Chains A and B, each alone.
Chain A
Amino acid sequence: MPIELYRIDDRLIHGQVVVGWGQPLDLRFIVLVDDDVAASEWEQELYRLGVPPGIEVHFDTVDTAALSLAGYGKDSRRGILLTKDIETMDRLAARAPTIREINLGGLHYRAGRVQKLRYVFLAADEEQVLRTLAGRGITITAQDVPAARPVPLDDLLGGRSH
């Protein structure tokens, strides 16, 4: 079964992921793709605390995730893949053509970013990367939880959906 959702969320594993998406999608595994976290046992230990019993967590670098995606796709259970920033998802998508849809779930304020939605703030270079990804035929929408309306990238960058 292919991974159900490719999500960019700077909080990585949290309530919206394990409960908001986890319950309706019946998620059984999470692939957390981050080069730093994959090399850090204490961070992995913290992220595991937020996962309820019954959901497995895999920690991958971009390199190992690109190699493992085919294997995750053969898993009979449903899964979600998370990156904490656009740059990481961009690097992964460049090596994994099976990624056809990307969900913007949460990119919060930091210096240089402009608010697009209450849970999406983007810098100019991040907008450019998203446009490039869309240009490669990948559908990008912003949606924090399943109950929310998905906002297409054009609306998001055009600022029509605040």
Chain B
Amino acid sequence: MTDTRLGGGAGAAPDAQVAGRPGPAGVGPVPRVPIGTRMSVFTRLFAIQASWNYELLMGTGIGFCVEPVLRLLPGGAHGAAYRDALARESRYFNAHPYLAAVAVGALARAELDGVPGDRIERFRTALCGPLGSVGDRLVWAGWLPVCSLLALAAFGLGAGAAVVLAIFLGAYNAGHLGLRAWGVDAGWRSGLRVAPALSGRLFRVGPGYLARTGAYLSGVALPIALGRVIGPGAERGPIVGVVAATVVGGALLVRMHGRAEGWRIAIVVLAAFVFYATVARHG
């Protein structure tokens, strides 16, 4: 009979102090762990994809990130509990790299709570999908284009290279650092009951707001950036070419929807630039 209860662990590991902040309803108090352990987990999140491969994808990265917490299990870093948990957490896993922080926090909590291994494995499998699709919509299709267009708008308005770079890097990094910090904390507080945290307003309506903001910024940034590149009183040839290429490219993308992949599009655009720079312009 499948056990459908959440939690169900044997209680927090003895090396961790229980009775920290209260957790969400139905979840026990958040165990206190040393600040050094928490910092270690957070900093390791930046290397979560360092060992990415086709066999385990991000799996070893997850194991690497939760490892400092696993040292608090009974027997410490040389105990059987530590070895079992580390092996379990290093198996196949895939998710958005920033939202994987939620998985790291939740899985570390589950291991420390003594949740049975088979339930943790099912939890890991079930987390891959939502953390991947929510992260893709929020970051790759939302935050990244918005930050890029914001920097492009700054360029169009006359900002120098340093300012444009600062705007892009500042905005983008603020977003992903905040998301990672929130993610690991939300996972840690919620454990296996992390679903409500992921169905919050940011994740439900955030991608839509970001998509609309990106569309608005596209309308603002592209013309003024192009205007700055071409300059006043320039020939009409380049701008007519750009407009025509945009129309044709847009029509092709709509027609090839679902078949065109990012790297193929990038290669075609790059080839077009090379052709223009080396043949059309000097031929």
Contacting residues, chain A, for B76 (C-beta < 8 A): none
Does A49 lie within 8 Å of B199, measured CB to CB?
Answer: yes
Residue A115 CB within 8 A of the other chain: yes
Beta-carbon contacts of A86-124 to B below 8 Å, as 1s and 0s? Answer: 000000000000000000000011100001001101000
Is the CB of B114 closer than 8 A to any CB of chain A?
no
Find chain A residues with CB under 8 A from B192 CB.
Answer: 42
Closest B residue to A119 using CB positions? B54
> Measured between alpha carbons, how far is A12 from B122 in the docked complex, in Å?
12
Report whether B258 and A23 are in contact in the complex, using a CB–CB cutoff of 8 Å.
Answer: yes
Q: What class of interface size applies to chain A in its complex with B?
A: 35 or more
Question: Which interface residue of A35, A36, A51, A108 has the most chain B CB atoms within 10 A?
Answer: A108
Q: Are B259 and A10 in contact (CB under 8 A)?
A: no
B residues engaging A (CB < 8 A)?
Answer: 2, 4, 6, 54-57, 91-92, 94, 122-123, 125-130, 132-134, 136-137, 192-195, 198-199, 203, 257-261
A8, CB-defined interface residue at 8 Å: no
- Expressed in whole angstroms, the Cα–Cα distance for A11 and B4 within the complex equals 20
Q: A14-B132, A147-B259 are in contact. List 17 more A-B contacts (CB 8 A).
A: A10-B92, A12-B126, A14-B128, A24-B259, A37-B126, A40-B122, A41-B4, A42-B193, A43-B122, A46-B130, A46-B194, A49-B198, A50-B132, A52-B133, A108-B55, A108-B57, A147-B258
Known: A42-B193, A115-B55, A147-B258. A110 touches B136 (CB 8 A): no
In this complex, what residue of B is CB-closest to A113?
B55
Whether A10 touches B56, Cβ cut-off 8 Å, given contacts A23-B258, A46-B195, A110-B91, is: no
